[in-house]
Amino acid sequence: MLPPKAKKNPKTLTAHNHSRQDDYYWLNQREDPEVIKHLEAENAYFEARTQVQSGLREELFQEIKGRIKEDDSSVPYVKDGYEYQTKFETGDQYPRYLRRKLDEAEAKMLLNVNEMAESYDFYSVGGLNISDDNRYLAYGEDTVSRRIYTIYIKDLLTGQNLPDQIPNTTGGSVWSADGQYLFYSVKDDALRPYKIMRHRLGTAPQDDAVIYEESDETFRAFVGRTKSKKFIVVGSAQTISTEYHLLRADNPLGELRVFQPRERDLEYSIAHIDDRFYVLTNKGAKNFQLMVTHEDQTAKEHWQTVIPHRKDTLLEDVDLFKNFLVLSERTNGLTHLRILANAPDADDSGSESNITASGSSVAKYSLPHIDYQSDHYLDFPDEAYMAYTSVNPEFNTETLRFGYQSMTTPASTYDYDMVSREQTLLKQQPVLGKFSSDDYVSERRFSESRDGTKVPLSIVYKKDTPKDGSAPLLLYAYGSYGHSMDPYFSVARLSLLNRGFIFVITHVRGGEEMGRHWYEDGKLLKKKNTFTDFVDAAEWLLANDYTTKASLFAMGGSAGGLLMGAIANMRPDLWCGVVAQVPFVDVVTTMLDDSIPLTTGEYDEWGNPNEKEYYDYILGYSPYDQVEAKDYPNMLVTTGLHDSQVQYWEPAKWVAKLRELKTDDNELLLHTDMKVGHGGASGRFDSIKDVARDYAWVLSLSPQKSTP
């Protein structure tokens, strides 16, 4: 069967007196029958070329599914007199959400998502939110996979939904204290959340009031509520700037007041307890610091440092308790959980006045007392791991719930007594079949990039896998938005490891693993560091006998798919195969089109190509623009027709251009899921089929065909 050949319909795109010819621009018409016909032809070609892999796909699917305990449940947590839990029963694709009143024996069903999803090819529920009186449940429903949710409200006394149906939202919402008003965000035509609305129960959504509108297209608006429940928080954020407004939750018809007006390059987040706000901010602190201020004096001139900036440690998050602060810190690429005793000093409570340089009096809020003698970190056993705080809805507790996993240790939930320092394992993700963590080895190594930068590598393999260069290896990375890719456990990955694969995450610049500078050195006019870090990590693995070029594979998705496109252009000779999942590959054209979702909010990530300096730089790496007549590795490209993050036409155009220009006979496949969007299939078993598809393709190309 011959590969599909997309028709050429040249379109000239001009910027800065520079013209590009895009022969496949026409593929961006989702409703055009000819576009659908082309995508279906590509799918038919994919099925024909991979028919021989169908048995392996099914084997992998059953294998991965067989490791999953189907009748499973989460560790319950307590909030406002109820115990909440998520459960799956045998055969369930979707969760069941339950709660139990603490003085009652049996739990009641909040939502059975399996029943709700029956009529849909795709179904997602999000933003579950209970009113303060425990009567109403608000939740969002997406049935298209465009991340556009309709909010429904369920009366938990009657078990019936109210007539209120609120369309075109992000799915999330917050209640006023009296449970009569719901606050939520709506999206514009580019799917940017830009308005915060107030809905009164029992009224028509079209009559909802706008309480905030974000007019700057580079900002996204959102709404939340403090853990203390005292404030509704309206936020607006872009890549390098944030702003918050406050509204008393017991005064839903009141006026918003600004916390600290937005300033370029000023980022902050807020958490409330008692009469104060803790502020996590980069104010004078590249790696962020923790500050505090009185709830009535929230402008930045009142902020006082509690945890100062450190050059070697990124302060990522803070969890507040009545008597403790729990800090999430990242040092040398790994997360550490730090416990500090936190209580206002009885001798120092209240406010005092400082005289500013101008002579005016400014109230100064007294710092909470921190008992640094109790300062300590949790200990974790693995060389590379992932640690994080979990659900901690109550202030008045000495117990911290946290999660832990590594590339050899399944996801585990612990309770930690912050006074006695004893920890209790509540649950570890069950892995059915013949699995033991002791059969696998995890390493942490550092490759060296061409500019001398040391890049962390998280490596896992089965103990009996040879390290003499004969093993196949899959190299994975993301490397954008300051998102740190932690060394996580994967049930599905075991199918590769058991077949002799080595799996490596390379923590390239563009993430934030090594601190804020790691992100800044992998974005804007330094974005190419992300790509060279990945290539140089591959070279390091080859030089250190982890694998050979004939057995080296690369994989990444979304912005990591951009990475795949860049490294395929830069060093096509390195890879036996490249898997690009929902790849962002038409960077220049997308970033010049402000009608496309995400574009305007990402100028500070990629650069604004309306400025010539950024146009030239992005053009120099944009995978679609850099395709040329040369040999490319085997490539599998995947996308979803309804993708709202990376539009399907980017990978479709890229594959069409590769088919036209590449000079090799290597495999080039495009698979478009016609029913889903960016995140793939919604059911927990359907999503495994996507993994099995990608793994089967990689395994079919691997010189080593060992069985698990």
Looking from the CA of 569 toward its CB, the CA atoms found within 13 Å total 23
Is 558 among the catalytic positions?
yes
Buried b / exposed e along 112-136 (16+ C-beta atoms within 10 A): bbbebbeeebbbbbebbbbbbebeb
> In Å, what is the CA distance from 523 to each residue of 219, 311, 388, 467, 569?
18, 20, 26, 34, 19
Written as six digits, the tokens of 582 are: 């929902």
Strand partners, 476: 505, 555
Reported as half-sphere exposure (CB side, CA atoms, 13 A), residue 366 has a value of: 13
Give one DSSP letter per residue of 244-312, joined into a string: EEEEETT-TTS--EEEE---TT--EEEEEETTEEEEEE-TT-TT-EEEEEETT--SGGG-EEEE--BTT
Report d(CA 617, CA 630) in Å as an integer.
Answer: 22
User: Is 643 tagged catalytic?
Assistant: yes
Cβ-contact 635, 667 below 8 angstroms: yes
- Please tell me the distance from the alpha carbon of residue 112 to that of residue 96, in angstroms, as a whole number: 4
Q: Among the options 382, 643, 673, 690, which is catalytic?
A: 643
Task: Note whether 147 and 677 are within 8 A (CB).
Answer: yes
- The H helix count followed by the E strand count for the chain is 13, 40
Residue 27 CB partners (closer than 8 Å, separation 6+)? 6, 35, 38, 649, 652, 653, 656
Name the catalytic one among 173, 558, 682, 702.
558
**Is residue 489 within 8 Å of 410, Cβ to Cβ?**
yes
Give the integer Cα–Cα distance in Å for 335 and 171: 30
Q: What is the DSSP letter of 28?
A: G
**Amino acid code (one letter) for 85:** Q
Residues forming beta bridges with residue 87, ordered by sequence position: 73, 96
State which H helix or E strand residue 334 sits in: strand 334-343
Coil, strand or helix at 566: helix
What is the C-alpha separation between 589 and 579, in angstroms, rounded?
23
As annotated, the active-site residues are: 558, 643, 678
